[in-house]
Amino acid sequence: MIIGKVVGTVICTRKNDNLIGSKFMIIEPLVKMGDEKSRIVAVDPVGAGNNDIVLVAQGSAARVGCGNQDSPVDACIVGIVDDPQKIVIMD
């Protein structure tokens, strides 16, 4: 699971049948992932908005978080952080 900031949305008029009705958000991780900071697209079943700090599940856990094991999802927002001021990032 990663923690990141919502920095935008993705609009898809055509998508897999299992994703119809899903909202997609662009997430910028708060901690470096690998060699560089990279943005990811995550399905948003919790109603996050721009600039929200969110928890994102990836891989098979993302499909569980979205409630659909048959959906082609690799990242899913599973929570919105209540108080971003209290986040402590250890390097």
Distance (Å, whole) CA 54 – CA 84: 9
DSSP code for 14: S
Kindly state which CATH superfamily the domain 2-86 is placed in.
Answer: EutN/Ccml (2.40.50.220)
Quickly state the pLDDT bin for 43 (edges 50, 70, 90). very high
Q: What percent of the chain has pLDDT over 70?
A: 88
Q: Point out which residues pair with 80 in neighbouring strands.
A: 54
Q: What is the pLDDT of residues 18-38, one digit of tens each?
A: 888 889 999 999 876 555 668
What is the pTM assigned to this prediction? 0.84
Domain ranges for the chain: 2-86
Q: Where does residue 48 rank: exposed (0-12), middle (13-18), buried (19+ CB within 10 A)?
A: buried
